[in-house]
Structure 1
Amino acid sequence: TGVCVTCASHVCYMCVTGVCEEVCSRAQINSCSDCIRTGPFCAWCQQLNFTKAGEQEAVRCDTVAKLRTRGCNGEDIITVINHRTVVKDQPLSQTFDQKEKEPVQLRPQEIRLKLRPGLPVSFSVHFKQVQGYPVDLYYLMDLSFSMNDDLQNVKKLGNQLFTALEAITQHGRIGFGAFVDKTVLPFTNTNPQKLQKPCDNSLVACQAAFGYRHVLSLTQSKEQFRIEVDKQHISGNLDSPEGSLDAMMQATVCGDRIGWRNSSTRLLVLTTDAGFHMAGDGKLAGILEPNDERCHLHNNLYTSSSNTDYPSVGQLALQLEKQNIQPIFAVTDEVYDIYQLSKMIPKSVVGRLSADSSNVVKLITDAYNIRLSLSSKVTLTHGPLPENVQVTYSPKCDDPGPSGGSTGVCNGVQQGKEITFEVQVVSSSCLSSPQTFSISPLGIKDSLTVTVESDCDCKCHDKLQGALHPHCSFQGTVECGMCRCTEGFLGQFCNCSSDRRAQTESCRRDNGTECEGRGTCVCGRCQCHSKPSGTFYHGAFCECDDEQCDYHLNELCAGKGKCHCGKCQCNPGYEGDACQCAVSRESCTRNGAECNGRGTCKCNACECDSGYLPPLCLLCPSCPDPCNAKLSCVECLAFDVGPFKKNCSVACSSVSHQKVTHLGNARHCELKDSEGCWVRYRLQQLVGRDRYSADVLEQRDCPPSLVAIVAASVASVALVGILLLLLVKLLLYMRDLKEFRRFENEKKKSRWAQADNPLFKNATTTVTNPTFTGE
């Protein structure tokens, strides 16, 4: 079996027994051109009679090795290779010479590639930064009131700036610009008096409020720089964030006003002690027009400051890259983190500015030199690529940096040292027309123009080209070994007339519909129809559809495989019906056993056999209790009793056991065996189906003999009788004692009845006879 692996060059190989070989997929091949477009290793055999009777012409398409194995002669094998032509390759310049129009720092300058789809081509790009290359440094300063002491220092630092620039290059120039903020509320006080003098301190010379002013174009004159900077005064505004991005955008796009040279390293130094307003903040002042990234300087003053919004960082980054300008943010500690924009603005550098800007010269020097890697780091990248074209870089230098698919990085590159990048270009499909893109180092104007076109057609050398050929029954011509029949004839050898059809039985699968209803039976072979999407059904009976596979996350075969004949053929490292699963056994495996031997691992999850439950195929709670199921084996193995006594080794081969003195507190089985004895044991399920290990308590609890039971019963009855008699005796005694005590109490009370009560009088009864007259 083989596994298809994709290498760094995007080319697929088949690994068989550890050896990688080229592969060629032959789906939907109807011509030599189809074969060439299928894969980078596909070749075409134009040899006549290469195919057998009834065999599809697609077998002509395969790798060169397999075609030769099938008997195709070497001169009849047609393939396409890449072609690389260097159109312009001027040598690299050694030093900068003002007499030269443009120094050369990158070679070659123009190259033309003719690519076969899927087959990569490599070439070398050389870069060397010219010694003494010109530097243009534009100093952009925040003139809000808090920068007053900084301005005084900058006025004194003119000579130092030029001295530092001369140490870098003999061809350096410096310019100067200033900014504050938009002159509208709520950014600036719009009171007419405040607009003319926005500073609070009346003793300080203060200039009128402004957004951005271009003060001095790039110049080599120290005196001119000193004079123009001396004229500058502080200004003011209301809020803390300033219009830094507005000023940087104008200094970038107004190249003719600033004086940027075509051949120079362009540095834009921004000094400030405040953050910046960005796109959207202008809405606070009712400014809804987005920044148009155009120059709006009139009399060196930014005139659209109050009409258009601030630019976004992305807009500024795009223009800086387009103009090859490298920004240096010299900012105070309070806003240092705010200006960490290197991810959005490539090659930008942030330095910590002292409170009075006294260290600005050292900061600029450090930023340009190796410490901040502005000039020592070379990043090679490309512009917008044509569709389906990919470019990768491999730096060949002493300190290669982290390189991705779209960049190549070399660190610690000194001026005058040549470095090389290996560039690889591959086109995944045929291009309709030649396409062009550029490769250049970031911040450097030099570039390499690459023109890419596709080579997707075969150049066959057929004999009797264009004439009716006997191989085609004189009813067609030969093109790349295949017959192209004249009108009225069909078939592999043009031997079938179009007005009569061959028998259709061979076009029916299992006596079903002719060509599955997806094609036409011609000369006993199915010619499959195309689908609305433009693809074709295929197969001997047109039974295959390469768009009817399972989907995952709305992607056919999860985007990790190809659909072939209704089934996903997954890329290496993926599996599942829809190639939705990365190949892994981690969640299925414990102690080296996959699913405990009671299931199969699919998509990194166990599919358990009947009676077992995921995730690791353990016995399900509702399944029969293994304690009862394994009792007979336990008693025959451990105590040689029970129904399996005579056949224990065979009937209980799946159970292993050992006797132990105690079972601990873990859950265990406790059942009566066939002799009525209590057997205690603990079962552990082993890897595999119905395999257990039993720890059996070495002593059983068996019932005593009948005599002992009778004796114990009689003794128990006698004991109970005695206890009952004693209880009755005790109750009688307690009752007699109670009666005696009551008698004693009554006796004591009788003594009081013998005394005479002086207050007691007997009852008197008077009887009168009404008839007695007294006589």
Structure 2
Amino acid sequence: MNILMRFRNNIFLILLISFINTARSCKFDTCGECISYAEDHCVWCAQDGITGSRCRSFKSVSENTTKQVDPNWCKPKYIHNPLFHKETTEDKDFAESKNGTQVQIKPQVIKVKVRPGEPVDFTINFKPAKDYPLDVYYLMDISYTMQTKVDDLKRQAQKIYKDLSAYTNNVRLGIGSFVEKPGFPYVDPIVHKSHAFKNHIPLTDDMKLFISTIEHIEFGSNFDDREAGLDGLMQAMKCRDEIKWRDNARRIIILSTDAPYHSAGDGKIVGAIKPHDMLCHLKDNMYTEALTLDYPSVSQINKVATDENFKIIFAIAVNSQTNVIPETEYKNLAKQITGATFARLEGGDSVIQIIKEAYEEMANTVHIKYKAPPFVNVTIDQDCNSLPKRHCEVGHKQSLSINGTLVVKSCPKANKNTKYTVTLNPYGLRDNLAIELDIACKCSCEQETGSIVPGICHGSGFIQCGICKCQPGSYGNDCRCNGTSTDQRDMEKCKMSSAAKLCSGRGICKCGQCECQDGFSGDFCEFDDNSCPKPNNQLCFGHGRCIRGQCKCDVGYSEKDCSCKNDDKDCYAPYATEACSGRGKCICGACVCDKIKDKNETYSGVFCDSCEECAAARCKELENYTYCNYIHRDNKAICDRDQGSKISNIIVEFMNKTEINGPKLYMATWCKKELESKNGSFILFKYRYVNHDLKITIQDELESPPKANIWIAAGSAIGLVLLIGILTVIIWKILVDLHDKKEFKKFQDEALAAGYDVSQNPLYQDPSINFSNPVYNNQCTT
């Protein structure tokens, strides 16, 4: 009986908690707050005479058969339930023109009506245009140590133009230079020729003028090692009209130097104390504010480069005096600027090669960037920094589709505007996709105003969305309270219990209602909205909102603290068809491995594929992909084609026999792929995981099966026979000696028993006999 009572009480408690949670999740006082909470799909009833909450979960008031709101609660015409709507309003084809230029991205405009919390999926289609305009501006360090590199540019100018024209017939080149701010102690104006930036020639397709300009450039000098490269770079980017940058062109700036750079703060030494304003200051093609404005900061350079779609290449040379290249400094700088790269500037055709590689990368890869309000979260399914690049490479004359999702996390605060735009575009191009958002944060009935009617809302307000909208100075559910109301009965309504503090000590009681301090909520201000889990100073792990003391998670996350990622994408090993290799469960975006059958242990590894029998199965999965890469080792894209996400995180490399057997790959797993058409030869390869990426290392030469050598076989057989014979003779001799020894011992024992002295042979005669010489000492007589 006690067990039944306990079970019944537990069931009741579970139902009660469920009811309370449901009530809390859609417990809002205004129509706008109600419909802007999408997690439980809250709906608002504006019908008169409704008892209880006007904001409820659609699930709790809908009929399962019709998916309509129960008319017993609210008539359909009074329901405010904004529905998701997405419409593509501009979708010009790649072959069409847009504002006189070629279209490279489609669609162009999408309009969406959405609640906060609802995911919006979208697809960006990109196709590089043929003969797309290209502007290349060469920003040179013209100090004396760079003289040989400038001479290289002089010799190669015509070839640069010719080679780039093979890619596109719409090329323009320009040139500018820098040395240093012309002020002491960096420069002695009397001794040194120096400037922070000079535009020698704007972008042009007149190669004779370009070459002539380079030939007449005069070199400068300065005292210190560092130079004004960032000053020149900022002016080269911001002076659009002076440099003649085209809006619809790919823009490349090559900063060529052999010295480190000055950045923000260094200009104070020469009196340039004003922070850089990120504006153009050219007069007669010379930078006029070099001694007034400080050097730009790296973050300012990054902002302008990102906003204006510049591809910056730091082409760094070895200093002819110090024989040192500031490689580390410029590599770190390139990492801090979106789209920037580092390259070594060497002799010969290195300038041409750097420009060609930069253009090929821009033409054959696409990296989507976006601008969005802070309350909008955008996720794009690409990773152009991974190896191989994921959803970034564009084949010749082919298009590329990239998927993305955006979620409005919350309504914008203190702003009546509910329409915003999210802009996405490939880095380096002006083409973009505009997603126009109409965020459902207010009901249409909240825009309506009514007239004050005696008897309604105590004559101090009017009905709006079914509730009283009070005039200034009045408040309360029915507007019966004013700013001076101190009714004791109203005070009691602001307490959770008779002994509790008014509004839990966290707010002010006005006309029976609590006005809570910031950070607290609830009817009695009983909820601390900062009490939710806050790792790294981020409420709800940064994946949700703290409402009434509880985390309300964003789409794709769950658990009480929003720490659990519902997406199982990270549980799929590259080139695998099952989450966790079919040997575990994906929980919160990570694999929890199963127990191995008939063993007291579990599978291991990031994807639960570490076990004795797992390696053979994984090798089998990878062998065809490996074989394809072996055949097409210079064109991995052929093997990746039509594979989708299976190859998104796979890195392929080749090594010789010595390297693949070295300590670097000691922990990798061996595999082989037999080739029937190659006389039994096979491909050897190893695989291992680097974080979540799969790295396949292939031996660059086939492994042949061992061949039988008849002489070795015959010699081995003869040697074995001889060895056996010799061993037999030795063993026989040892056995014979042992037998003789045993027999001799037996003979000794028998002789002793018969009374013979076995120390001397009775048949033995001494070989020595004494004879007397009769004539010795005259003993002989006649």
Using the size of structure 1 for normalisation, the TM-score is 0.55
Tell me which amino acid in the other structure corresponds to 1:339: Y
Q: Deviations over 1:121-170 (max 9, x none)?
A: 23333222211101111112221111122222221112211112112210
Q: Contact 1:118/1:429 (CA < 8 Å) preserved in 2? A: no
Kindly indicate whether residue 152 of structure 2 is the aligned counterpart of residue 153 of structure 1: yes
For residues 294-373 of structure 1, what are the structure 2 equivalents within 5 Å? Answer: 294-332=279-317, 334-340=325-331, 341-354=333-346, 356=347, 358-369=349-360, 373=361
Kindly indicate whether residue 108 of structure 2 is the aligned counterpart of residue 123 of structure 1: no
Kindly indicate whether residue 413 of structure 2 is the aligned counterpart of residue 428 of structure 1: no
Kindly indicate whether residue 265 of structure 2 is the aligned counterpart of residue 280 of structure 1: yes
* Structure 1 residue runs without a partner (length 5+): 1-14, 17-21, 52-56, 196-207, 495-500, 520-525, 577-582, 585-775
- 167 and 482 in structure 1: CA distance in 2 versus 1, 3 angstrom threshold: same
Kindly indicate whether residue 58 of structure 2 is the aligned counterpart of residue 63 of structure 1: yes
Q: How far 1:222 moved relative to its partner?
A: 2.0
Tell me which amino acid in the other structure corresponds to 1:297: L
**Residues of 2 paired with 1:211 and 1:459: CA distance?**
58
For residues 22-421 of structure 1, what are the structure 2 equivalents within 5 Å? Answer: 25-26=24-25, 28-30=27-29, 32-40=31-39, 41-44=41-44, 57-58=52-53, 61-64=56-59, 66-68=61-63, 72=71, 76=76, 78-93=80-95, 101-190=100-189, 192=190, 194-195=191-192, 208-332=193-317, 334-340=325-331, 341-354=333-346, 356=347, 358-369=349-360, 373-383=361-371, 385-395=372-382, 401=384, 410-414=391-395, 416-420=397-401, 421=403
- 24 and 417 in structure 1: CA distance in 2 versus 1, 3 angstrom threshold: farther
The one of 491, 495, 515 equivalent to 1:531 is 515
Q: How far 1:264 moved relative to its partner?
A: 0.8
The more displaced of 150-159 and 111-120 is 111-120
Q: How far 1:314 moved relative to its partner?
A: 1.7
**Residues of 2 paired with 1:428 and 1:347: CA distance?**
31
Tell me which amino acid in the other structure corresponds to 2:404: E
For residues 550-699 of structure 1, what are the structure 2 equivalents within 5 Å? Answer: 559=540, 573=559
Q: How far 1:50 moved relative to its partner?
A: 7.6
Q: How far 1:559 moved relative to its partner?
A: 4.8
**Residues of 2 paired with 1:328 and 1:562: CA distance?**
42
**Residues of 2 paired with 1:549 and 1:179: CA distance?**
53
Q: Counterpart of 2:638?
A: none
Tell me which amino acid in the other structure corresponds to 1:454: I
Q: Counterpart of 1:744?
A: none
Q: Contact 2:146/2:257 (CA < 8 Å) preserved in 1? A: yes
Q: Deviations over 1:686-731 (max 9, x none)?
A: xxxxxxxxxxxxxxxxxxxxxxxxxxxxxxxxxxxxxxxxxxxxxx
- 564 and 357 in structure 1: CA distance in 2 versus 1, 3 angstrom threshold: closer
SS in 1 for 2:526: coil
**Aligned Cα RMSD in Å?**
5.0
- 512 and 110 in structure 1: CA distance in 2 versus 1, 3 angstrom threshold: same
Q: Counterpart of 1:756?
A: none
Q: Contact 1:130/1:415 (CA < 8 Å) preserved in 2? A: no
Q: Contact 1:85/1:113 (CA < 8 Å) preserved in 2? A: yes
**Residues of 2 paired with 1:72 and 1:229: CA distance?**
82
Q: How far 1:324 moved relative to its partner?
A: 1.9
**Residues of 2 paired with 1:213 and 1:239: CA distance?**
20
Q: How far 1:335 moved relative to its partner?
A: 1.9
SS in 2 for 1:136: strand
**Residues of 1 paired with 2:375 and 2:306: CA distance?**
25
**Residues of 1 paired with 2:304 and 2:494: CA distance?**
66
Q: How far 1:46 moved relative to its partner?
A: 6.9
Tell me which amino acid in the other structure corresponds to 2:343: G
Q: Contact 1:134/1:171 (CA < 8 Å) preserved in 2? A: yes
Q: Contact 2:519/2:529 (CA < 8 Å) preserved in 1? A: no
**Residues of 2 paired with 1:89 and 1:352: CA distance?**
42
Tell me which amino acid in the other structure corresponds to 1:119: E
**Residues of 2 paired with 1:549 and 1:294: CA distance?**
42
SS in 2 for 1:223: helix
Q: Deviations over 1:190-248 (max 9, x none)?
A: 3x3x23xxxxxxxxxxxx43332221221112222221111123332222222211111
- 418 and 517 in structure 1: CA distance in 2 versus 1, 3 angstrom threshold: same
Tell me which amino acid in the other structure corresponds to 1:348: A
SS in 2 for 1:365: helix
**Residues of 2 paired with 1:416 and 1:337: CA distance?**
37
- 107 and 557 in structure 1: CA distance in 2 versus 1, 3 angstrom threshold: closer
Q: How far 1:365 moved relative to its partner?
A: 1.0
- 573 and 482 in structure 1: CA distance in 2 versus 1, 3 angstrom threshold: closer
Q: Contact 1:88/1:111 (CA < 8 Å) preserved in 2? A: yes
Q: Contact 1:24/1:39 (CA < 8 Å) preserved in 2? A: no
- 65 and 226 in structure 1: CA distance in 2 versus 1, 3 angstrom threshold: same
Q: Deviations over 1:596-641 (max 9, x none)?
A: xxxxxxxxxxxxxxxxxxxxxxxxxxxxxxxxxxxxxxxxxxxxxx
**Residues of 1 paired with 2:452 and 2:299: CA distance?**
63
- 65 and 332 in structure 1: CA distance in 2 versus 1, 3 angstrom threshold: same
SS in 2 for 1:216: strand
**Residues of 1 paired with 2:188 and 2:537: CA distance?**
61
Q: Deviations over 1:91-136 (max 9, x none)?
A: 2247x99xx7222222333333322222232333322221110111
SS in 2 for 1:141: strand
- 537 and 80 in structure 1: CA distance in 2 versus 1, 3 angstrom threshold: same
- 414 and 24 in structure 1: CA distance in 2 versus 1, 3 angstrom threshold: farther
- 120 and 23 in structure 1: CA distance in 2 versus 1, 3 angstrom threshold: farther
- 221 and 556 in structure 1: CA distance in 2 versus 1, 3 angstrom threshold: closer
- Structure showing greater radius of gyration is 1
Q: How far 1:267 moved relative to its partner?
A: 0.8
- 171 and 415 in structure 1: CA distance in 2 versus 1, 3 angstrom threshold: farther
For residues 762-773 of structure 1, what are the structure 2 equivalents within 5 Å? Answer: none
- 262 and 477 in structure 1: CA distance in 2 versus 1, 3 angstrom threshold: closer
Q: Contact 1:549/1:556 (CA < 8 Å) preserved in 2? A: no
SS in 1 for 2:184: coil
Q: Contact 2:494/2:513 (CA < 8 Å) preserved in 1? A: no
**Residues of 1 paired with 2:26 and 2:246: CA distance?**
57
**Residues of 1 paired with 2:179 and 2:213: CA distance?**
18
Larger proportion of helix: 2
